[in-house]
Amino acid sequence: MNSFPTLSSERLVLNETTADDAQAVFELFSDKRVTEYYDLDVFDSIGQALDLIEGDSKKALDNQMLRWAVREKTSGDYIGGCGINRFEPERHVAVIGYEFHREFWGKGYATEAISAVIEFAFSSSCPKKVNRIEAYTMQGNLASESLLHKLGFKAEGILREHSFWKGQYHDLTLFSLLKKDHIAQNNEQKIMDR
C-alpha cells in the first residue's frame, strides 16, 4: 500500500492513527466500559497506546490490516477507531472491529464509520480482494449486534469458547456480510430513494 487511504462521510473523516493520537487512544482503551467486550485489558499507560498505534501501522504497511482513526469532520477530534483487523486473503475475507469513546455512543457515528469501511473493503481501492466481511461479538454485546444487523450483517452462529482473554474462554457470535448481498441492499435502497 503506497499511502494510507482517507475515507469520509457526512460527519466523519477516517484517516491514519498517528503518535499524536496516543493520548486519545489511551483514554479510549483505559475506559472499562469500552473494553468490556474487548480482547484487550484496560490500558494503564500511554506506552500501550503508542505500541498499539505502531503495531497497527506496521501491519498496514504489510497489507495485513487497515485500522482508521475516526475523527469528527468539524473539530478534527479523535472519537474512536475502526477498520479491518485482519485480511484473510486466501478466503477473500476481511475481519472488522470498532471502538468509540463513550460520549459518542448512540449517535450513529459507528454506523457512519463502519459503512465507509464496508464500501472501501468491497471496492477496487482495497489492497486485498474482499468478498466477505466478518465481525465477531462477545455474548451480551447487544449494541454491537444491533449495529451489525442494521448494516446488513447476518448472524451465522455462536462459536463456543472460541477465544481466551482476561483469564477466561468466551463464546463469540460470528456475523458476516457478503459483497453480493451488500450490492443488492444498495440497489434496493436506491429504488426506495427514487
Q: What is the pLDDT of residues 18-28, one digit of tens each?
A: 999 999 999 99
Of 174, 160, 4, whose CA–CA distance to 93 is shortest?
174
- Which helix H or strand E contains 25, and what residues bound it? helix 22-29
**CA–CA distance, 121 with 129 (Å, rounded to integer):** 8
CATH code for position 71:
3.40.630.30
Give residues with Cβ within 8 angstroms of 113, minimum separation 6.
9, 12, 14, 68, 70, 80, 82, 98
CA atoms within 13 A on the CB side of 189: 8
- Model confidence at 92: pLDDT above 60: yes
Of 185, 183, 56, whose CA–CA distance to 131 is shortest?
183
- Mean pLDDT of the region 55-71: 96
Name the band, by pLDDT with cuts 50, 70 and 90, for residue 187.
Answer: confident
How far separated are the first and last CA of the chain, in Å rounded?
Answer: 38
The verdict on residue 143 lying in a domain is yes
Q: pTM, whole model, 2 decimals? A: 0.92
Name the band, by pLDDT with cuts 50, 70 and 90, for residue 50.
Answer: very high
- Mean pLDDT of the region 113-134: 97
The verdict on residue 1 lying in a domain is no
The total number of structural domains in the chain stands at: 1
Give residues with Cβ within 8 angstroms of 104, minimum separation 6.
79, 80
The verdict on residue 79 lying in a domain is yes
Range of the domain at 74: 7-193
- Mean pLDDT of the region 137-158: 95
The verdict on residue 21 lying in a domain is yes
The alpha carbons of the chain give a radius of gyration, in whole angstroms, of 16
The verdict on residue 97 lying in a domain is yes
As given in the structure block, the three cell numbers for residue 154 are 447476518
The verdict on residue 2 lying in a domain is no
